[in-house]
Chain A
Amino acid sequence: GENVEQHPSTLSVQEGDSAVIKCTYSDSASNYFPWYKQELGKRPQLIIDIRSNVGEKKDQRIAVTLNKTAKHFSLHITETQPEDSAVYFCAATHNNAGNMLTFGGGTRLMVKP
């Protein structure tokens, strides 16, 4: 089955700096990679996703890159703000697995004012 590794487990940045979270996956058939943000005591919320037919996707301050050959994908947050502080999860799945996401272990991002 799929295995997703996520690094780092914690990340502390100064407000305004960039943050990068990296994930690797094992199943070369995986073709859908969402990122979720989970604030303390709240539901995971989808912030961006990418499919394997593109290498990069951007939405305002958030971008995701995908390297299918190396089987890794990354989340980039620019101009970080204190409200970006949360736990971020990457995940992977493929069409034949429906919505059975395999999640990484999570990254706790702390943005210091």
Chain B
Amino acid sequence: ETGVTQSPTHLIKTRGQQVTLRCSSQSGHNTVSWYQQALGQGPQFIFQYYREEENGRGNFPPRFSGLQFPNYSSELNVNALELDDSALYLCASSPGMRDRVSPLHFGNGTRLTVT
């Protein structure tokens, strides 16, 4: 059984650019969540996808968008990058139903640096 995998591991972008981060969920998991973890802080919820539909969103602007594919893998897209977007972006998957809590399994994250 493979765990959650994310790519790339590190990324450097310039302010104003766009970025796409990718996540493959753990086998058998149909729910994917994305979190932003700034240095020295706890992860903050961005949004969640269940069976290819967005199923909840945190306090992030519309320039943060995502997709989930039929194989349950997912993408996080960020447009018009700002310096404050520099963070570790974590993907987590779970086998849960859309309205039932189940344990999250995190990937190793993508470290995004915006200069």
By a CB distance below 8 angstroms, the chain B residues around A45 are 106
Tell me the number of A-to-B contacts counted with CB atoms below 8 Å. 71
Find residues 74-98 in chain B having any chain A CB closer than 8 Å to their own CB: 90, 92, 94, 96, 98
Tell me, rounded to whole Å, the shortest Cβ–Cβ distance linking A1 to chain B. 8
Closest partner residue, chain B, to A6 (CB atom): B42
Q: Contact between B106 and A95 (Cβ–Cβ < 8 Å)? A: no
The reply to whether B90 and A43 form a contact with Cβ atoms under 8 Å apart is yes
A36 contact set on B, CB distance < 8 A = 106
Q: Does B68 sit at the interface, judged by CB under 8 A?
A: no
* Interface class of chain A by DSSP: mixed
Q: A98, B96: Cβ atoms under 8 Å?
A: yes
- Residue from the set A43, A93, A95 with the largest chain B CB neighbour count within 10 Å: A43
B residues 58-115 touching A (CB-CB < 8 Å) = 58, 90, 92, 94, 96, 98-109
- Residue from A31, A44, A98 within 8 A of B55 (CB atoms): A98
Chain A residues within CB distance 8 Å of chain B: 6, 31-32, 34, 36, 42-46, 49, 89, 91, 93-106
Given contacts A36-B106, A46-B104, A100-B45, 9 further A-B contacts (CB under 8 A): A43-B90, A46-B105, A49-B103, A98-B48, A98-B99, A101-B45, A102-B45, A105-B42, A106-B42
A-B contact pairs, 18 of them (CB 8 A): A31-B101, A32-B101, A34-B104, A44-B43, A44-B90, A46-B103, A91-B42, A93-B101, A98-B31, A98-B48, A98-B55, A98-B99, A98-B100, A99-B31, A99-B104, A101-B43, A102-B45, A103-B44
